[in-house]
Amino acid sequence: MANGVDPNDPIYSDPFFQMAKRQFDVIADYLDIPDGQRERIIYPKRAVSVTIPFHRDDGSIEVLHGYRVQHHLAIGPTKGGTRYAANLTIGECAALSVLMSWKCALTGLPYGGGKGGVRVDPHSLSKHELELVSRRYMQELIPFVGPQMDILGPDMGTNEQVMAWYMDCYSMHAGYAVGEIVTGKPVSLGGVAGRRESTGRGVVFLIERALDHLKIKPADCTAIIQGYGNVGAVAAQGLAFKSGMKIVGISDHTAAFYNAGGIDIQAADKYVAEHGVLHGFTGGDVVDAAELLTMPCDVLVPAAVEGVITAKNAGQLKCRILAEAANGPVTPDADEVLNQRWDEVFVIPDILCNSGGVIVSYFEWVQDLQNFFWSDVEIMDRLYRILDTAFTAVIKRSKERKLPHRTAAVSIGVERVMAARQARGIFP
Ligand code: NAD
């Protein structure tokens, strides 16, 4: 039998992981990384799979499956979100942990990438069941996580309350309050005001930065946003009220809307606050969700799920800026199309575009470790400075080496991870 990865391995044969690996292979070829080094860099250090039995409200027992993947621990703990989704796979967590490593390295944070979650539709659980599942998930992970080993945060399907349950569970085990085990927790537990909004605000800052680079006035622009959750809704608010853009399209998993005259974002927020979803909103024409992505606009913001820009629709995008607020919204095949169109479509790659969340999470962790809290102004100021530095580094490398923005961004991240691993050497 040959050494190496089993082609049927549930982690590495997963389409999401294959996508992350293909993206890495492009960079590894570009950086001329030798084979042995490549394997050491791309494959996660640790992938944990746990079962989560719990009592349904009706007394029946159900067993769910949870995962946590830690990509590398070369320079500090791993850091990453926790996703609750019905179709979550361990391969998807592995892929997202890899992306997270490049993101942390690009923005200069002392973390490797982590990612995890539970394979469950959170809407199918009552609040009590959600609490049971969350506590049991954390309980199962206790041997593998910690403030110096792996720090959890929110992602799709989880929120401040879930983080509070994780923190409580971990702290009960330790015997004292350990706020620094999670980020994105309530302010009353040492969370940072504005953490939930930080990813969306970072997206808006980078879009404005890109427009400035392209010498386009934000107030002259239109935007379409896919996904109306923590990231998408905040980005919509920022682009509408701070940048002065006309938001012509929004969508979530239940419906998509277009309004050439501009969607009233305040009305959309109010509708979602009352109904939980956009379905039934009357502030625009109902359109096909996939078609919304190819409708004309200056700024397109995919802020929902992976793989929505494919080889099929990448050639039809009619935006000037593609701001990848979601993780992995563009497939490698689509990337090849976009690389041909790089004069037409200015891509802000995901590992840069949505890095505001992990940057503010890093601030939260540092503050909790020191029990010393910063002002909101200080947090936003430090966030924008880090984003600006990363944006400048990506544009500089792209220009100097004539590279697409994603290749420039990921290659900076990969180089930094590689340098750290090489400096440490191989144990023993
Ligand atoms: P969320 O659960 O708050 O919101 C997700 C939104 O996407 C919801 O409105 C949902 O209805 C919508 N959606 C789901 N599937 C869709 C589809 N097929 N078409 C259209 N809309 C769809 O999640 P979030 O925290 O806003 O995360 C969104 C994306 O941003 C994810 O890719 C996540 O990994 C990434 N991200 C989030 C953060 C963060 O701080 N929350 C940080 C970095 C990256």
Question: H or E segment at 40?
Answer: helix 35-42
Q: Is the pLDDT of residue 68 over 80?
A: yes
What does each C-alpha distance from 102 to 84, 97, 113, 129, 196 come to in angstroms?
23, 9, 8, 35, 22
Q: Which of 38, 147, 15, 29 is nearest to 418 (CA)?
A: 38
Closest residue CA from atom 17 of ligand 1: 253
Tokens of 320: 């000037």
Considering the chain, what percentage of its residues have pLDDT values greater than 90?
95
What does each C-alpha distance from 327 to 87, 89, 126, 144 come to in angstroms?
16, 15, 28, 24
Q: Which of 192, 128, 196, 140 is nearest to 166 (CA)?
A: 140
Residue 11 pLDDT: 96
Cα 412 to ligand 1 centroid, rounded to whole Å: 26
Parallel/antiparallel/unpaired status of strands 256-258 and 246-251 = antiparallel
Q: How far apart are the first and last CA of the chain?
A: 26
Residue 371 to residue 365: CA distance in whole angstroms: 10
229 lines ligand 1 (CB under 6 A): yes
Cα 325 to ligand 1 centroid, rounded to whole Å: 9
Q: If 0-12 CB within 10 Å is exposed, 13-18 middle and 19+ buried, where does residue 212 land?
A: exposed
3-class state of residue 69 by DSSP: strand
CA 212 to chain centre: 24
Residue 51 to residue 43: CA distance in whole angstroms: 23
Residue 4 pLDDT: 84
Tokens of 322: 């593609």
Strand partners of residue 69: 47, 115
Cα 237 to ligand 1 centroid, rounded to whole Å: 15
Compute the mean pLDDT over every residue in the chain, rounded to the nearest whole number.
96
197 lines ligand 1 (CB under 6 A): no
Cα 307 to ligand 1 centroid, rounded to whole Å: 13
- Summarised one tens digit per residue, pLDDT across range 136-160 is 999 999 999 999 999 999 999 999 9
The single residue of 21, 79, 103, 115 carrying the catalytic annotation is 115
Closest residue CA from atom 14 of ligand 1: 253
- Summarised one tens digit per residue, pLDDT across range 309-327 is 999 999 999 999 999 999 9
- Summarised one tens digit per residue, pLDDT across range 23-53 is 999 999 999 999 989 999 999 999 999 999 9
Q: Which of 134, 170, 157 is nearest to 81 (CA)?
A: 157
354 lines ligand 1 (CB under 6 A): yes
Parallel/antiparallel/unpaired status of strands 112-119 and 78-85 = parallel
Strand partners of residue 151: 79
Q: How confident is the model at residue 7 (pLDDT cuts 50, 70, 90)?
A: confident
Q: Is the pLDDT of residue 1 over 60?
A: no
Average pLDDT of span 85-99: 97
Average pLDDT of span 263-271: 98
325 lines ligand 1 (CB under 6 A): yes
- Summarised one tens digit per residue, pLDDT across range 277-320 is 999 999 999 999 999 999 999 999 999 998 999 999 999 999 99
158 lines ligand 1 (CB under 6 A): no
CA 138 to chain centre: 21
For ligand 1, pick from 199, 206, 234 the residue to mutate: most ligand atoms within 8 Å of CB. 199
Tokens of 11: 């982690």
Question: H or E segment at 91?
Answer: helix 90-106
Residues 6+ apart with CB under 8 A from 39: none
Cα 23 to ligand 1 centroid, rounded to whole Å: 22
Assess whether 45 carries a catalytic annotation: no
157, 122 Cβ separation under 8 angstroms: yes
Residue 36 pLDDT: 87
Q: Is the pLDDT of residue 194 over 90?
A: no
User: How would you classify residue 152: left for phi > 0, otherwise alpha for psi between -120 and 50, otherwise beta?
Assistant: beta
For ligand 1, pick from 19, 305, 359, 387 the residue to mutate: most ligand atoms within 8 Å of CB. 305
122 lines ligand 1 (CB under 6 A): no
226, 301 Cβ separation under 8 angstroms: yes
